[in-house]
Amino acid sequence: AGHRPVEATELFIPFLERSGYAVRVEGSTDIYADAAELAETDLIVQCTTMSQITAEQVAGLAAAVAAGTGFTGWHGGIVDSFRACAEYLHLVGGQFATHPGIEPGDRSGGEEDNFLPHSITITELGRAHPITAGIEDFDLVTEQYWVLHDDLIDVLATTTHPTRAWHPWHRPVTSPAIWTRNWGAGRIVVTTPGHSLDVLEHRSVRTVIERGMVWATRTASAS
């Protein structure tokens, strides 16, 4: 609820097919427990918010990535998945904590209560990385993810949550907005913008996601 995973997935299938991928769509995480199938998979694009994952499934996913299968996704479909699973969090390296809202007196009870104007700022590393090279800082009005993370991620872009009178934090907080993570022989890419189809259609967001798919795909050295 709150996202459109089917439509969002279908948005990127033509790009993948044009790029030479044979695309298979699964409606659940059961496939993660199929070691033989994942061994033949070069890239997993996950679009599953919250939900649950079994120990066998997350172990299969982690093993596949460590063996070279690429893993990527956007927004809640990758960084707000399987909140109760520590092993999944360890794999991805960051977890959605919140998306701050607008001033309480202006809220109407809809999803727009959590739409804030904010900037995505490309880091020095990001300006040289093939996923984000040539992309300038850009502005969005949508959910701004506050992410808890570790130091094994390589941050390509950040977003800063300012202090506001109705929020309890006392200084601006910067969160990673786009990152990569090397895991064994595999590559992981997380793009936190992507709440709705219009955000996914934003030129910079879509470019990052599409480049991230290509970059994360199993490399020759991991074959």
- CATH assignment at residue 198: 3.40.50.880
pLDDT(223) > 60: no
pLDDT of residue 222: 64
Query: Which comes out higher in pLDDT, residue 148 or 219?
Result: 148
Question: What do you get for the CA distance between the two ends of the chain, in Å?
Answer: 37
Asked, for residue 223, whether it belongs to a domain, the answer is: no
pLDDT of residue 128: 98
- 2 pLDDT band (50/70/90 cuts)? confident
Tokens for 161?
Answer: 């949550």
| Percentage, residues of the chain above pLDDT 90 | 96
pLDDT of residue 98: 97
In this predicted model, what pLDDT tens digit does every residue of 152-194 receive, in sequence order? Answer: 999 999 999 999 999 999 999 999 999 999 999 999 999 999 9
Asked, for residue 140, whether it belongs to a domain, the answer is: yes
Asked, for residue 114, whether it belongs to a domain, the answer is: yes
Asked, for residue 197, whether it belongs to a domain, the answer is: yes
Asked, for residue 169, whether it belongs to a domain, the answer is: yes
pLDDT of residue 65: 98
For the chain, the domain total comes to 1
| Domain span holding position 195 | 5-216
Asked, for residue 222, whether it belongs to a domain, the answer is: no
Sorted by sequence, the CB contacts under 8 Å of residue 206 that are 6+ apart come out as 200
DSSP state for residue 129 in the 8-state scheme: S
Asked, for residue 221, whether it belongs to a domain, the answer is: no
pLDDT of residue 219: 82
Name the average pLDDT for the chain: 96
pTM to 2 decimals? Answer: 0.96
In this predicted model, what pLDDT tens digit does every residue of 72-107 receive, in sequence order? Answer: 999 999 999 999 999 999 999 999 999 999 999 999
pLDDT of residue 178: 98
In the chain, the largest separation of any two C-alpha atoms, in whole Å, equals 55
Sorted by sequence, the CB contacts under 8 Å of residue 10 that are 6+ apart come out as none
